[in-house]
A and B are shown apart, each in its own frame.
Chain A
């Protein structure tokens, strides 16, 4: 190892990580999910099992569609950073860890996009 000071070893490498960003987003999405969960559950529970007519009647309404989109979007965001902590805690080995993290991100973004797109389509088809 070359004789270097601590400072010169890290010079030019940028910041060590993302600071408190992850922690902050976890809190922000949790707080947002408190009202969104309640606002989502009531119309969803009532529409469930009511067939296609109930679906269109419920999610053809702007407010229900909006809260459902926000709920699914924020919940996917919350789950993607939450599962990140679990993977970082329990998965040894850089390759396995990074692979799982990438798959988690891809799955959460796809799930959010699919849910949002589906609700938009149901809203416009009503």
Chain B
């Protein structure tokens, strides 16, 4: 029997039509925060290089990073850092074969999200 319906059959779940579970979104966000953190690290190194270059140049860098725009970028980086950090800790448990049960993953999803927010606020309170 010839297949007359070629090309008009239902597709298997694909990224565009498939609502990803939370753990997958966290995984993607861990990559994105990792990439974004290169920007944060570059700003911090620039701050140090300005300090080594001259006090005048440092005044500019220090002013820019502690301006509202700089604070916005740095607090964003700080949250990205703690998010990447928390999911990294979860990966350590996964490396040891622990925490793979769906129930545990659903719980640790929220530990990663909550932990990143709590650690961001805690850091802002301490420093």
Contact = CB atoms under 8 A, between A and B. Distances in A.
Q: Is the interface of B mostly helix, strand, loop or mixed?
A: helix
Given A30-B92, A48-B66, A49-B66, A86 B45 contact: no
A25 interface: no
A51 B123 contact: no
**Interface size band for A:** 35 or more
Contacts of B34: 79, 82-83, 86
Contacts, number: 87
Contact of A51 (B38, B62, B89): B62
Given A45-B127, A82-B34, A86-B35, A52 B59 contact: yes
Contacts of A121: 52
Interface of B: 31, 34-35, 37-38, 41-42, 44-45, 47-49, 51-53, 55, 58-59, 62, 65-66, 74, 78, 81, 85, 88-89, 91-92, 95, 123, 126-127
23 contacts: A27-B95, A33-B85, A34-B85, A37-B81, A44-B44, A45-B123, A45-B127, A48-B65, A49-B66, A55-B51, A59-B48, A72-B48, A83-B35, A83-B38, A86-B31, A114-B48, A115-B45, A115-B49, A118-B51, A118-B52, A118-B53, A121-B52, A122-B52
